[in-house]
A and B are shown apart, each in its own frame.
Chain A
């Protein structure tokens, strides 16, 4: 079982709607989580970090963490065609020396 799981998609969302991306993890010791956006042919770019249970908002992005249920989610409000990309979820256990990445979810925003 992979330590971080994501639905590979593709996930198709109409422009202006809310895109919801989900990630589950198996290591209960995981303390910090990150969402990366990767455009086709480009490198992963950090868009959100979350460390505590609850919601964290940054502009149109909201990250949600539920440690009891071991899931992390990313909501994108007012989705734009420029949000079309692959979104990678990553987790890190306390003291662990590396991040564990999910496979990524490919998101397409339809005009």
Chain B
């Protein structure tokens, strides 16, 4: 049982390049989330998808786009990468009921030069 799988694990980009981070879960969860984590900043929600076919902005959506491809997959795209987007990105998923916790992937470490 893989849980939440993120690819790639590491990536270095040049400013202005584009990139898609992939996330897939095999737990039949309804909701999926993308966070970034910077030193001393905690987890900040970028976008989320409460259910297949819906996406909503979190607290830091600028510079990002998302696609909920199907129930299993939720991708995050950087159209024109900037050094300020250097961060660790975590994908998470959960069952939609409010009492359920989120389960996280291992993260993608992204550096923008």
A103 to B33, CA, bound (A): 18
Q: Does B101 lie at the interface of the complex (its beta carbon under 8 Å from any beta carbon of A)?
A: yes
Known: A43-B104, A43-B106, A92-B98. 9 other contacts (CB 8 A): A32-B100, A43-B105, A44-B90, A45-B104, A49-B99, A88-B43, A99-B102, A101-B42, A101-B43
Mask, A91-102, CB within 8 Å of B = 1, is: 011111111011
Partner of A97, one of B96, B99, B103: B96
Number of chain B interface residues as a range: 20 to 34
**Cross-chain contact A104 with B42 (CB below 8 angstroms):** yes
**Cross-chain contact A97 with B43 (CB below 8 angstroms):** no
Q: List 28 interface pairs A-B (beta carbons < 8 Å), by A numbering.
A: A31-B99, A32-B100, A42-B106, A42-B107, A43-B104, A43-B105, A43-B106, A43-B107, A44-B43, A44-B104, A45-B104, A46-B101, A51-B99, A88-B42, A90-B101, A92-B98, A92-B99, A97-B50, A97-B56, A97-B96, A98-B48, A99-B94, A99-B101, A101-B42, A101-B43, A102-B42, A103-B42, A104-B42
Residues of A within 8 A of B50 (CB): 97
**Cross-chain contact A31 with B101 (CB below 8 angstroms):** no
A95 to B50, CA, bound (A): 11
